[in-house]
Amino acid sequence: MGRGIGQFYPGMSPLHALDPRAKILASVGLVAALFLVGSFHGFLLVAVVVLSLLIVSRVPAAAFLRFLKPVSFIVALTFLFQALFSREGNILFEWGWLSVYEGGVSNGAFLAARILLLVLSAALLTATTPPVALTDGIEDLLSPLKKLRFPSHEVAMMMTIALRFIPTLDEEAQKIMRAQAARGAEFSEGGLIKRVKAIIPILVPLTVGAFCRADELADAMESRGYRGGEGRTRYRELKFRLRDGVALLFVVLVAVGGAVL
Amino acid sequence: MRIEVKNLRHVYSPGTDSAVEALRDVSLSVEGGEILGVVGGTGSGKSTLVVHMNLLLEPTSGEVLIDGMDARAMKKSELRRRVGLVFQFPESALFAPTVEEDVAFGPCRLGLDEEEVRRRVSETLGMLGISHLASRSPHALSGGEKRRVAIAGVLAMGPEAIVLDEPTAGLDPATREELLDVVRGLKNAGMSVVIVSHDLDEIAEVADRVCLMERGEAKAVGAPEDVFYEHPENAPDTVRAALAVGERLPGVGRPVRFAETVEVLERVMGG
Ligand SMILES: Nc1ncnc2c1ncn2[C@@H]1O[C@H](COP(=O)(O)OP(=O)(O)OP(=O)(O)O)[C@@H](O)[C@H]1O
Ligand SMILES: [Mg+2]
């Protein structure tokens, strides 16, 4: 099955039980908090909250590590840039033309930790919310915009379909890669131009296949009576309960606390 | 060329909770000038087995021998040239603007000169009866035509063995017959052929030996009459008819092919 983005881990934790709208808003709140905090203590507060939520979610740690893997390169780069080129505070050590300052290292660590926590907050949301619930929640949150003729149902439907097809596309890409490898294609050899050229035999059939699939899906949806969001009854109804309100309030308090501290 | 797999075992996503043991201790071989038919239910491991034959999938344990040599010791590119592999629904990997260019992809990767590439392309297109499609776009062809283009793309590399995963699935009877004729032609030219199929009648017609897969194991490997008469639940209609008639009348023997069966039945029933 599809690895990486949008991976849902079925579970029974309190986080799984929350209304998707509450979780979406809470994630936005956490992300805002991470941007707002300036002080070390404020940051510590938000960090402790995010890390505790990871434990509460009962999603295996390995799953979160997998979420972090794609961003680890950016995090490392951010840290290195800050550490090597920032000239704040005392000099930690010098080595030839290279001098590393205390401020640089602490700034770098701070920024890196901030990115990691951002990704973890998003991961918390997608790991504890089934993709369909996620898009239902987004549709609902966007629905006030309908008055401004914003196609919130269509946008949500597009997201549902896109999420559904990520694993399919991934599988398809693997198949095509193997088929081309059987014809002598090499994907990991040669210089940049050679590698880009090697992608064409994968990308073309993948795109052609995706368009065919999109056509078929559209036909199938239409023949089963899909006509957009107008007057459509929901199969799943969302319910905002007391615990959702409490969860939201908690996150707001954390965000305010982080900003003030 | 002789391809031999020994005690092959394959586990998908090992060490995770979604681990699947798709192959268990499978051993079999195929010789030059021979067609090995692989049959078995959906999910029995047929595709997993055949992609091991040029090591596009590495076995979890066990080995693949090419003319007695460990395939893992061979150069990957060399191995893939010598053992051609046509996947299930190979038409999904067509990509070039024209049929000609798509078929030329493999030979070009072998570093042949342009003259030789062109010769091979026109030869294989001719062999599969699609020369007239050479300058068409592969995406605008019918399913059967696409299938033949994809097979040509592998044959143009000049393999000594060819492995075909359900090459006739979803084709009309006439196209299927034509394709099976091509497969017989390859065998007569001395190639080792492995063909996977759900169509037992088709395997009965072309295969010299049969491997019956069930839940990741090779339940039986051997001559078609041995395999089919031992496992009548997985036998073609010809074998079932012969078995039904043989219960009452002696001398039916063990016919497998359609023509053979008709001949035998005419003899015991008419005479
Ligand atoms: N990429 C994969 N990851 C995990 N499991 C897989 C993968 N490919 C196949 N399997 C599993 O391995 C088993 C054998 O699959 P395989 O594709 O070899 O069957 P098959 O006999 O070719 O079936 P079919 O007749 O439907 O083509 C199945 O249980 C399948 O679910
Ligand atoms: Mg298969």
B262 touches chain A (CB under 8 A): no
Interchain pair A208, B84: CB under 8 A: no
Selected residue of A59, A178, A183 to mutate for chain B interface (largest B Cβ count, 10 A)? A183
What is the three-class DSSP state of B131? helix
Indicate the residue of B18, B109, B139 with minimum beta-carbon distance to A183: B109
CA of A86 to the centre of ligand 1 (A): 54
H/E stretch holding A58: none
Question: Tens of pLDDT along A28-43?
Answer: 999 988 888 888 888 8
Inter-chain CB proximity A205 and B92 less than 8 Å:
yes
Q: Are B216 and B199 in contact (CB under 8 A)?
A: no
Cross-strand pairs, B38: B196, B211
For residue B44, the ligand 1 atom closest to its alpha carbon is 21
Q: Exposure of B9 by Cβ count < 10 A (0-12 exposed, 13-18 middle, 19+ buried)?
A: middle
Most confident of A25-39, A211-225, B130-144: B130-144
Per-residue model confidence (pLDDT) at position B38: 97
Q: Which atom of ligand 1 is nearest to the CA of B48?
A: 18
Model pLDDT, residue B31: 95
Q: Are strands B217-222 and B161-165 parallel, antiparallel or unpaired?
A: unpaired
Looking at every residue in chain A, the average pLDDT score rounds to: 85
| Cβ-defined contact of A182 to B85 (cutoff 8 Å) | yes
Lowest mean pLDDT among A182-196, A211-225, B25-39: A182-196
pLDDT of amino acid A143: 85
Judge whether residue B132 has pLDDT over 60: yes
Nearest Cα residue in chain A from B101: A201
Residue of B nearest to A1 (CA): B18
Is residue A245 over pLDDT 60?
yes
pLDDT tens digits for A64-105?
888 888 888 889 998 988 888 887 778 877 877 778 888 888
Q: Whose CA is nearest to atom 14 of ligand 1?
A: B45
B20-54: per-residue pLDDT in tens? 999 999 999 999 999 999 999 999 999 999 999 99
**pLDDT > 90? residue A196:** no
pLDDT score at A95: 79
Ligand 2 mean position, distance from CA B35 (Å): 18
Cα torsion at B206, B207, B212, B218 (round to 10°)? -150
Residue A1 — pLDDT band, cuts 50, 70, 90?
very low
Q: Whose CA is nearest to atom 16 of ligand 1?
A: B45
Instruction: For residues A111-120, give the mean pLDDT.
Output: 91
Average pLDDT over residues B212-222: 96
Q: Report pLDDT digits (tens) over B166-184.
A: 999 989 999 899 999 999 9
pLDDT value of residue B218: 96
How many angstroms does the Cα of residue B165 sit away from the middle of ligand 2?
Answer: 7
Q: Rounded to 5 degrees, what are φ and ψ at B89?
A: 45, 60
Q: Among B9, B44, B214, B219, which residue has the most ligand 1 atoms within 8 Å of its CB, making it the best to mutate?
A: B44
Q: Which residues of A touch B (CB under 8 A)?
A: 1, 172, 175-176, 178-186, 200-202, 204-205, 208-209
Give percent of chain B above pLDDT 70: 100
| Residue in chain B nearest A63 by alpha carbon | B16
C-beta B52 within 6 A of ligand 1: no
Quick one: pLDDT at residue A240? Answer: 84
- Reported ipTM: the value is 0.83
Of B92, B95, B157, the CB nearest to A184: B157
Give the mean model confidence (pLDDT) for residues B148-176: 94
Put simply, the answer to whether B95 touches A200 (Cβ < 8 Å) is yes
Neighbours of A1 (CB within 10 A): 9
pLDDT tens-digit series, residues A199-210: 899 999 999 999
pTM value > 0.80? no
Residue among B25, B267, B81, B150 nearest A186 (CA): B81
Residue of B51, B139, B153 with shortest CB distance to A183 = B153
Kindly determine whether residue B80 and residue A184, on different chains, have CB atoms separated by under 8 Å.
yes
Whether the predicted pLDDT of A2 surpasses 50? no
Query: Quick one: pLDDT at residue B271?
Result: 60
pLDDT surpassing 60 at residue A5? no
Across the range B105-119, mean pLDDT stands at 92
Q: Yes or no: say if B17 and B83 are a contact pair by the CB < 8 Å rule.
A: no
Pairs across A and B, CB distance < 8 A: 59
Chain A interface test: which of B53, B92, B101 (most A C-beta within 10 Å): B92
Q: Report whether residue B46 contacts ligand 1, using a CB cutoff of 6 Å.
A: yes
* Angstrom distance (rounded) from CA A254 to CA A248: 10
**A213 CA distance to ligand 2 centroid (A)?**
21
Give the residue, A261 or B100, on which the prediction is more confident: B100
Q: Above 80 in pLDDT, residue A237?
A: no
Ligand 1 within 6 A of CB of B89: no
CB < 8 Å to A172, chain B: 92
| pLDDT tens figures, B70-108 | 999 999 889 999 999 999 999 999 999 999 999 999 999
The alpha carbon dihedral of B72, B76, B78, B80 has a sign of positive
* Per-residue pLDDT, A133: 86
Burial letters B147-175, b for 16+ CB under 10 A, else e: bbbbbbbbbbbbbbbbbbbbbbeebeeeb
Q: Confidence band (pLDDT; 50, 70, 90) for A6?
A: low
State if residue B47 touches ligand 1 by the CB under 6 angstroms criterion: yes
User: Residue A4's pLDDT is what?
Assistant: 44
